[in-house]
Amino acid sequence: MEKNIGFIGLGIMGRPMVLNLMKAGHKVTVYDINESAAQKLVHEGAVGAKSPKETAENKDIIFTMLPNSKHVEEVVLGENGVIESAKKGSVIIDMSSISPVVSKKIACEVNKKDIEMLDAPVSGGETGAIDGTLAIMVGGNEEVFDKVKDVLHDMGKTITLVGDNGCGCTAKLANQIMVNLNIAAMSEALVFAAKAGIDIEKMYNAIRGGLAGSAVLDQKVPRILDRNFVPGGKISINLKDITNVMETAHDIDVPLPLTGELLEIFHALKADGKENDDHGGIVQFYEKIANVQVKRS
């Protein structure tokens, strides 16, 4: 069933998600602080809005896809925010990767206005957003989830309710630990092999069918060999996510020694001017300290 939708945040992920919603027949009103990003989608059939408040007026569902916790809080609860115009019974679905604590706080505030909220961060990167094959991990009320599940399927392939408000964000942070530590481990192995003089492409083909094989290996090794660090998931965004991981872990007294080291690697890459590279660029940290480059023979 077609919905009247608002969508705030039209970056690398948000833009293709909006296109898939429109392709599915939904009417989508869009807003972004970058006016040109919104105008491009207006030219492709979306309706433009001048504020989050205007975006949310008379909408069934309002999506947010923003860089961090403070942006989501400001857009939803701030002046000219979503909460000022969203109708009773509407559903705010935040698909950003933010702190579970902040997500639960926002949900509590909008619930006071009889507005529902789900946290529904995604995995799959820009490719998944374009193809409509994102994995979406959802936190919130099951009845609300059931009402909007079909719309989520217009943007994703695997849609899973993992628990109450905040649980989607927690699942995404756990996902970020696994993905980025996997990339870091792969990077160590690639640099080790490159320094030893092995043909990396042959090694990759030899190990990808075994236990070391993974989606990370298949997505990142060919790009690294091509020295292609155009971002699907920027180092800066993953730095933000891993910072959220460590802050949340400290709040609940969970030591994460490997993730702590990963955070320092991200900070080193940022200091080296690599923050806008894809997170496959983690390999560049290891290359620099080993004085070797992973490339085709």
Tens digit of each residue's pLDDT (9 = 90 or more) over 134-164: 999 999 999 999 999 999 999 999 999 999 9
Is 172 designated active site?
A: yes
The region, left, alpha or beta by phi > 0 then psi within -120 to 50, assigned to residue 271 is: alpha
- Record: fold of 171-290: N-(1-d-carboxylethyl)-l-norvaline Dehydrogenase; domain 2 (1.10.1040)
* CA distance linking residue 109 with residue 113, whole number of Å: 7
Are residues 172 and 97 in contact, defined by beta-carbon separation less than 8 angstroms? yes
Q: What is the pLDDT at residue 137?
A: 98
- Mean per-residue pLDDT over the chain, rounded: 96
Given 172, 234, 240, 274, the catalytic residue: 172
Structure tokens of 20? 């898939």
pTM of the full predicted structure? Answer: 0.88
Q: What is the pLDDT at residue 231?
A: 87
| Domain segments of the chain as ranges | 4-164, 171-290
Q: Which residues of 121-141 are buried (b: 16+ CB within 10 A; e: fewer)?
A: bbbbbbebbbebebbbbbbbb
Tens digit of each residue's pLDDT (9 = 90 or more) over 2-32: 999 999 999 999 999 999 999 999 999 999 9
Q: What is the pLDDT at residue 105?
A: 96
The reply to whether CATH 3.40.50.720 applies to domain 4-164 is yes
